Chains A and B, each alone.
Chain A
Amino acid sequence: MTTTLTSEDLLTVHGVTKSYGAAGNTFLAVKDVDLRIAEGEFVCLLGPSGCGKSTLLRIIAGLMPATSGEVLYCGRHIEGVNPYATIVFQTFALFPWLTVEQNVTVALKARGVDPPTRHATALRLIDTVGLDGFEKAYPRELSGGMRQKVGFARAMAVEPELLCLDEPFSALDVLSAEALRGELMELWLGKKLPTRAILMVTHNIEEAVLMADRIVVMGKNPGHVVTEIPVTLRHPRARKDTAFQALVDRVYAAVAGHTPSEAEALGTAPGQPGLTRRLPPARINALSGLMERLNEEGGRSDLYRLGADLQLELDDLLPVLEAAQLLGFAQVTEGDAVLTPLGKAFAEASILTRKQLVAGRILRQPTVLWIFETLEKDDNQRVAQSYFLDKLRADFGDEAPRQLELAIKWARYAELFAFDDDTDELFLERGQE
């Protein structure tokens, strides 16, 4: 590469917005994102699922174009796939019918490297990631951790200046993930990689604090940058360290945010002006578990500890927390979850009382209320599913079926209304008795 650096920034993202769908029915994946990555930096994009972090990574790598805004690499605009960047994928994305060695060499072949050099480079890299002896093995013969090592070897083969990692450890078991993180950090910190910067997408807060120089926290609806938190802890970082834990706590607080005002949290009914809020994809059992746990902890708990205790990943914990806030059972402040009196009543109630409690609260949610009232107005108290889907599509687009499914799930629990699979209709539970 002959271009000399014009600034310290390897990469600048400027006001990038990405939307899907045609006019009138668009879905905003990310909105107005600014980001800079400096030479030698390890940056983490962190956020709950649906915050557009993976989309942003793909825009940066040039796999998809931004709807508006620009991505500059070394101060230049690059058309299409950025040839100086590469990605390590969450699901490894290896070619199952190619051996370990062929999987690495195919990346070199695409660049026109001659066979002897390809072979030598592949062997050296397979050796570097510790897979020597497995050159002729097929991916299906390897464990998840070993497959991801092949993924790293393949990425390194093209000597990327910008290494993009898309949740590379999240499909691995805990021990393999930890080992692989350590090995990557050793290579990176020991300057054994030809790479000038690393950008990693993750939803694992500890992982981000463990590896990154800077954490960019993203939020959803639509995806945007919430805040940036620099990590100045020295390597190797220890999870038990108080400074480490304090930082994890701080990131948790940034990710979970604060309980919004009631009007904002509830939003407006479908078809009405204003933003219609999505129902969080939370299971009722998980909500019960969370409430009981919080109650045992005396009504207040650190989110960080709560997640660890319940063995919930951030992606699983946040929707449950969101549901608890929506129902008014819990609040989130400064990285802590706090049980409300209502939540305490729920935690200590019998199953029947719990259903009544949820029934009373869930009807405040405009989407659920709208469905309920529509059914009440109907003479037979039965309305075709397609009617609701059509209306919900205007607000939720492709997400509409899932939203309706969630509403039905909660309403079924609360015994408000249910769904008849034979006739594809929704009906009021009361009408049945």
Chain B
Amino acid sequence: MPRPFRFGPAAVSRPPLSAADLVIVAGLGAVLALAIRLAWRVPAVVAGPEISLSGWALPWYALLSTSRMAAAYVLSLLFSLAYGYFAARSARARKVLMPLLDILQSVPILSFLPVVLLGLSAVLPQGIATELAAIILIFTSQAWNMTYSFYQSVTTVPQEIREAAAIFRLSPWLRFRVLELPFAAVGLIWNSMMSWAGGWFFLMAAEIFKVGSRDFRLPGLGAYLQTAADANDLRAVAAGVLTLVLTIVLLDQLLWRPILAWADKFKVEMVSSDAPPLRSWFFGVLNRSHLIEWLRHRFWAPLTEALDRRAVLPAEAGESTRTKVLWRRLGAGLAAALGVSAAGGLLYGVYRAIEALAGMTAAAWGGIGTGVLATFGRVVASLILALLWTIPVGVAIGTNRRLAGVLQPVVQVVASIPATALFPVLVLALLRVPGGLNLAAVVLMLAGTQWYLLFNVIAGTAAIPQDLRDSADLLRLSRWQRWRTLTLPALFPFLVTGAITAGGGAWNASIVAEYVTFGGKVHSTTGIGALIAQATATSDYRLLLASTLAMILAVVGLNRTWWRWLYHQAEVRFKLE
């Protein structure tokens, strides 16, 4: 499946840590504290559902997992459109919404899983709560980059096209339908695909989440794999992985590729590009289908026509000013009331959070500090390992067409397997080795993050202009000189972009990687992820709040200092234009 490499929104050049960020982090802490209050009431033992290892159960499990993904995706899409549109339209809302989005984007999502799970279990029946928690978790992994992409598209509509929409008096609805949504379509679709891939990673983790004697398994592929590994049933593990890959490939062929092929007409460039349009056999089938044509003619066209007709603007805008002012006042009043009550709630949350944190012993804080450092060490180790193998291999694929033709499809399929799905297998293999869990944790982080780096290296290599390569040849640069003066500097921006995403993923993985319940026994290693999981298992809610906040602060802090600096260097010094 040769697919052009594309990446989600390149890491945004972020502002340095500001007072607003602290407010937002405090707000997050408040929400966490409130959720944890709720979570007090969860029973100490939760029995998971029975997972069948029969091969016949696999299609059913695949369907269940896919449905969870779909539900979360629909939620993410609606959220992205609403949030992005609102932020793009209102300058005042933007001031709050965009920094909030940026923080949410860099928060390690899995650190929320215990809190969300426990909080929901406290108020809902266990089955529904686990389902909902999984969906919310996937939603939080999918929504931000899509929102960001949509917001960026809406704000970058060329001025003259926006003016054309105004001068031809397109109603807000019509403008959204024929201008803003189509303009955002391509970016939104690519980001949806990224989100979908990320969603598998978290779904697998959410389906196999077990803490102490609480078993939050969900019937699905992730739980199947976990159970199979637990039972040492290698045949079932293989069948499960195969089903997962098959599901992912099928979705790619039947859903994403047709959508991409269809979205080709939304490309904004005005010149016919040289690159051949993306092909999809399934899109071709749909396009020739009479049924689709009939549906479009009978249902889609009348529906949009009716919607469009409802939204025609009055001949002159002047007449409705008074009612407009009234509405605006009403809206402002409502917003103020909402804002005040939200602020009140948050203040209460902050109070509770501070109260909880104040009760922590110095030793506990020390443990958290050690944990953050240990996990940080693993993240760094996994990044270095990933860089060590992805740079040579990526450059080789990027420069050698024959190699690319052979390796790319393989890489695509391997990369599409969510690392979390393989984790139980990994643990099975490594637990007997001394320091095995430590190793398994690094390997899981590596497995989850290396692909971002590899794809970025390939893209970066392909982006080195031919004339620079030619001059390197003409100058007879030695192999080492060539790496130093051409390849590495040219790759630098791509490496930074890849590493930012990869690093975030690695922090995330620590929560499932550092604390494992396997074969009825708990295995854990030092780390902030282990602390979060352990706090959940032992119902130590103070520790849970403190360690979750610590992890958020660590990741956001790193993003705003180290990565921000590197990103700036990449932008200013190493950008090939």
Measured in the bound complex, the distance between the Cα atoms of B320 and A79 in whole Å is: 10
Kindly specify which of B215-223, B266-274, B408-416, B512-520 makes contact with the partner chain.
Answer: B266-274
B38 in contact (CB, < 8 A): no
Measured in the bound complex, the distance between the Cα atoms of B158 and A253 in whole Å is: 35
CB distance from B265 to the nearest CB of A (A): 5
CB distance from A397 to the nearest CB of B (A): 19
Q: Which residues of A contact B164 (CB under 8 A)?
A: 87, 89, 93-94
- CB of B317 within 8 A of CB of A79, answer yes
- B162 closest partner in A (C-beta): A93
CB distance from B104 to the nearest CB of A (A): 31
- CB of A138 within 8 A of CB of B178, answer no
Q: Which residues of A contact B174 (CB under 8 A)?
A: 106, 109-110
**Residue among A58, A63, A95, A96 making CB contact with B267, cutoff 8 Å:** A96
Kindly specify which of B197-205, B308-316, B462-470 makes contact with the partner chain.
Answer: B308-316
- CB of B168 within 8 A of CB of A95, answer no
- CB of B271 within 8 A of CB of A140, answer yes
Measured in the bound complex, the distance between the Cα atoms of B321 and A397 in whole Å is: 34
Q: Which of B164, B169, B267, B271 is the most central at the interface, judged by chain A CB atoms within 10 Å of its CB?
A: B164
User: Are A106 and B316 also in contact (CB < 8 A) when A79-B321, A140-B270 are?
Assistant: no
CB distance from A178 to the nearest CB of B (A): 22
A208 in contact (CB, < 8 A): no
User: Are A140 and B318 also in contact (CB < 8 A) when A63-B167, A90-B160, A115-B305 are?
Assistant: no
User: Are A154 and B168 also in contact (CB < 8 A) when A90-B160, A93-B163 are?
Assistant: yes
- B272 closest partner in A (C-beta): A140
Q: Determine the main DSSP class of B at the interface with A.
A: helix
**Residue among B182, B272, B309, B321 making CB contact with A95, cutoff 8 Å:** B182
- CB of B168 within 8 A of CB of A139, answer no
- CB of A78 within 8 A of CB of B168, answer no
- B271 closest partner in A (C-beta): A140
Q: Which residues of B contact A96 (CB under 8 A)?
A: 266-270
Measured in the bound complex, the distance between the Cα atoms of B315 and A110 in whole Å is: 11
**Residue among A110, A141, A154 making CB contact with B312, cutoff 8 Å:** A110
- Interface size band for B: 20 to 34
Q: Which residues of A contact B160 (CB under 8 A)?
A: 89-93
- CB of B265 within 8 A of CB of A138, answer yes
CB distance from A167 to the nearest CB of B (A): 11
Measured in the bound complex, the distance between the Cα atoms of B266 and A78 in whole Å is: 35
A251 in contact (CB, < 8 A): no
Contact with A along B170-186 (1 / 0, CB 8 A): 11001000110010000
- CB of A110 within 8 A of CB of B270, answer no
CB distance from B327 to the nearest CB of A (A): 16
CB distance from A276 to the nearest CB of B (A): 28
**Residue among B166, B268, B271, B318 making CB contact with A78, cutoff 8 Å:** B318
Measured in the bound complex, the distance between the Cα atoms of B157 and A133 in whole Å is: 30
- B268 closest partner in A (C-beta): A96
Measured in the bound complex, the distance between the Cα atoms of B161 and A147 in whole Å is: 14
Q: Which residues of A contact B305 (CB under 8 A)?
A: 115
- CB of A112 within 8 A of CB of B309, answer yes
- A164 closest partner in B (C-beta): B167
Q: Which of A89-125 contact B (CB under 8 A)?
A: 89-98, 106-107, 109-112, 115
- CB of B321 within 8 A of CB of A98, answer no
A202 in contact (CB, < 8 A): no
A61 in contact (CB, < 8 A): yes
A230 in contact (CB, < 8 A): no
- B269 closest partner in A (C-beta): A140
**Residue among A93, A107, A140 making CB contact with B161, cutoff 8 Å:** A93
Measured in the bound complex, the distance between the Cα atoms of B161 and A109 in whole Å is: 17
- A144 closest partner in B (C-beta): B270
Q: List 30 A-B contacts (CB under 8 A).
A: A63-B167, A79-B317, A80-B316, A81-B317, A83-B315, A83-B316, A85-B167, A89-B163, A90-B160, A91-B160, A93-B160, A94-B164, A95-B161, A95-B178, A95-B179, A96-B266, A96-B267, A96-B270, A97-B265, A106-B178, A107-B168, A110-B168, A110-B174, A110-B313, A111-B169, A112-B309, A112-B312, A138-B265, A140-B272, A154-B168
Residues in chain A within 8 A of chain B (CB atoms): 58, 61, 63, 78-81, 83, 85-87, 89-98, 106-107, 109-112, 115, 138-141, 147, 154, 158
| A89-B163, A109-B308 given; 19 more Cβ-contact pairs under 8 Å | A63-B163, A79-B317, A79-B321, A83-B315, A87-B163, A90-B160, A91-B158, A93-B158, A96-B269, A97-B266, A110-B312, A110-B313, A111-B312, A112-B312, A140-B270, A140-B271, A141-B272, A154-B168, A158-B168
